[in-house]
Amino acid sequence: MSNQATAFPRPVPAITDVSRPYWQAAREHRLEVQRCDDCNEWIFYPRQVCSECLSSALSWRQVSGLGTVYSYTVMHVPPHPGLADDLPLIVAVVKLDEGPQLTTNIVGCEPENMVVDMPVTVYFDDIDESITLVKFKPL
Amino acid sequence: MSLRGKAAITGYAEMAPQKRPEGKTSLGIMAEMAREAIADAGLEKSEIDGLLTACSLSDFSMLWPSAVVEYLHLKPRYFDQVELGGASSAGMVWRAAAAIEAGMCNTVLCVVGDTWDSRLFMAKPPPFPATEAEFDAPYGMVGANPGYALIAQRHMHEFGTTPEQLAKVAVDQRTNGCANPQALFGDKRITIDDVLSSRMIAEPLHLLEIVSPATGGGAFIVTSADRARHSPNRPVYLLGAGEAGEHSSITRAPNMTHSLVKPAADHAFAMAGVSREQIDFIQPYDCYTITVLVTIEDAGFCAKGAGGRFIEEHDLTWSGDFPCNTHGGQLSFGQPGMAGGMSHVIEGVRQLMDRGGERQVDGATIGYVNGNGGIMAEQCGLILGVEA
């Protein structure tokens, strides 16, 4: 397994100019999401235009980091060879209290204690010297 | 104007899926399937003036339709690729009919072939959208297993769907697969216990609830209703079609358990002027057991959330009261990459041509086919029938 992990690096975000503020905020352990100044819709993932009204007037807003587990799965087989050492891996979709949904991992919770709709709070995982992943842990 | 009864499928070919390419290439498989389908429809290659294809996952590239034209020395007046993942083949049927009805061509070859296996997926994955590579993959949302597992988990939470109900899809389809000499997994029947004791891959989905990648392919011929009358086979008419899309990653779906199968099916049934009760069989895209359950609900064969009980109470085998994936579905037939969704279209046509052999659904005249791509992201519903 460890050979596999060496051969295949873990998947990391390929950051763009559009998304850099999101990842930079995460690096500083703040969760920021775009909001449209024209129609007030929360936008996630980061975009150049609002996906609802197509306005370009998007602002970064810090959000609470609170949400609920909309659904989750415990992966018993690595979904990617670079994640072979992370099993069992809890892949989840968290719905933020503000509305947007994120793909994430739940940490600090045994798989058997996972429940749909459980409340969670953001956990910033500094996986290397430049990338911080936005994960969640039980509240 | 509608496409109802304007075009028909008049011939097909299908390769028995195999675990490894064994020297075959995707283009080579497509050429073999094209040769057999053209012959099955009683045509000459020179009569093919339209081509629809889907790029194989193993050779994913740009300019794919031209590559197929070149390999087969075709001279189409209309050609394109349909890239709706597993819904691509279903999506070809109405596009071919529309091109014919619009006067662009007379007879369309629809063909897909692929040399796919799980090792390739890890070593040389096809490119996913950059947004998913950035916001989903770092957390392990890669491939289809996690996405469908999330849907199943949420469905169980909202509606009380049980693992046993999901497992029965795989069990009944395996019975169908055992009546299909071409099925990759058609040797012996399985039980609900077999499914639930198979390896847990992505909770709540077990190994036997998940398709197995394979090498394979298929082709079918679409021509005008007028020309179809001269076919050696019973023409199978396109009566209705509907498509829907709204997201790519399941994380961005507005609702994980209520799928776009519904608007696609509603459009197809309305165009066909057919009721759910008139349907003799369904061939729903099945990458996972949960896909079939959600499709049965959202296509309107039972109330939303009642899919688990429906599956429990109905016999989904070819001789049952609700024949579903009579070829075994991809779960038993195998999933030949991008050609996987071809198997549902071809099985629907095969049944309506009365060529189902051992697994023929008695007196079948109208069937429902659904193509599904990505994580419930692309939906294409078709109503096929023997009378225009």
DSSP label at residue B307: H
How large is the average pLDDT for residues B101-130?
Answer: 88
A11, A78, A111 ranked by CB distance to B138: nearest: A11
Segment among A3-12, B48-57, B271-280 with least mean pLDDT: A3-12
Chain B residue with minimal CA distance to A83?
Answer: B140
Chain B residue with minimal CA distance to A19?
Answer: B134
How far is A79 from A10, CA to CA, in rounded Å? 11
Name, in order, each residue with C-beta under 8 angstroms of B265's C-beta and a sequence gap of 6 or more.
B242, B298, B299, B300, B368, B370, B379, B381
How large is the average pLDDT for residues B283-295?
Answer: 98
Cross-chain Cβ contact A93/B250 below 8 Å: yes
pLDDT in tens, B309-352: 999 999 999 999 999 999 999 999 999 999 999 999 999 999 99
Cross-chain Cβ contact A13/B149 below 8 Å: no
pLDDT score of A5: 43
Cross-chain Cβ contact A70/B134 below 8 Å: no
**Residue-by-residue DSSP string for B190-255:** --HHHHHHSPEEETTEEGGGB--B-EEEEEEEEEEHHHHTT-SSPPEEEEEEEEEE--SSGGG-S-
pLDDT score of A4: 45
Chain A residue with minimal CA distance to B199?
Answer: A76
Name, in order, each residue with C-beta under 8 angstroms of A81's C-beta and a sequence gap of 6 or more.
A4, A5, A7, A8, B122
DSSP label at residue A113: G
A12, A15, A103 ranked by CB distance to B136: nearest: A103
Q: Which of B216, B269, B224, B221 is nearest to B242 (CA)?
A: B269
pLDDT score of B76: 98
pLDDT score of B120: 73
* Chain B residues inside the 8 Å CB shell of A133: 138-139
- Closest CA of chain A from B195, distance in Å: 16
- Going from the C-alpha of B235 to that of each of B206, B230, B365, B388, the distances in angstroms are 40, 9, 11, 9
B140, B151, B256 ranked by CB distance to A89: nearest: B140
Interface test with B, best of A1, A10, A33, A93 (most B CBs within 10 A): A93
A14: contact with B, CB 8 A cutoff = yes
pLDDT score of A6: 52
Q: Which of A96, A95, A92 is nearest to A108 (CA)?
A: A92
pLDDT score of A3: 44
B146: contact with A, CB 8 A cutoff = yes
pLDDT in tens, A35-62: 999 999 999 999 999 999 999 999 999 9
* Chain B residues inside the 8 Å CB shell of A91: 139-141, 146, 149-150, 202
Averaged pLDDT of chain B: 97
Q: How many CB atoms lie within 10 A of CB B76?
A: 21
pLDDT in tens, B190-248: 999 999 999 999 999 999 999 999 999 999 999 999 999 999 999 999 999 999 999 99
B55: contact with A, CB 8 A cutoff = no
pLDDT score of A2: 43
Chain A residue with minimal CA distance to B201?
Answer: A76
How far is B60 from B31, CA to CA, in rounded Å? 17
Cross-chain Cβ contact A10/B199 below 8 Å: no
A24: contact with B, CB 8 A cutoff = no
Q: Which of B258, B227, B261, B228 is nearest to B244 (CA)?
A: B261
- Going from the C-alpha of B134 to that of each of A49, B62, B112, the distances in angstroms are 18, 23, 30
Instruction: Give pTM, 2 decimals.
Output: 0.97
A76: contact with B, CB 8 A cutoff = yes
Is it the case that residue A1 has pLDDT exceeding 80?
A: no
A67 pairs with which residues across the strands?
A96, A120
B133, B134, B139 ranked by CB distance to A104: nearest: B139
pLDDT-based confidence at residue B14 (cuts at 50, 70, 90): very high
Cross-chain Cβ contact A86/B139 below 8 Å: no
pLDDT-based confidence at residue A8 (cuts at 50, 70, 90): confident
Cross-chain Cβ contact B141/A79 below 8 Å: yes
Name, in order, each residue with C-beta under 8 angstroms of B299's C-beta and a sequence gap of 6 or more.
B261, B262, B265, B276, B282, B284, B368, B370, B381
How far is B305 from B40, CA to CA, in rounded Å? 42
Do B345 and B236 contact (CB within 8 A), yes or no? Answer: no
Is it the case that residue B125 has pLDDT exceeding 90?
A: no
- Closest CA of chain A from B133, distance in Å: 7
A74: contact with B, CB 8 A cutoff = yes
Q: Which of B303, B353, B316, B330 is nearest to B86 (CA)?
A: B330
- What value of ipTM does the predicted structure carry? 0.95
Q: Which of B208, B235, B212, B216 is nearest to B224 (CA)?
A: B235
B238 pairs with which residues across the strands?
B384
In this structure, what token pair is assigned to residue A126?
């500094």
Cross-chain Cβ contact B138/A102 below 8 Å: no
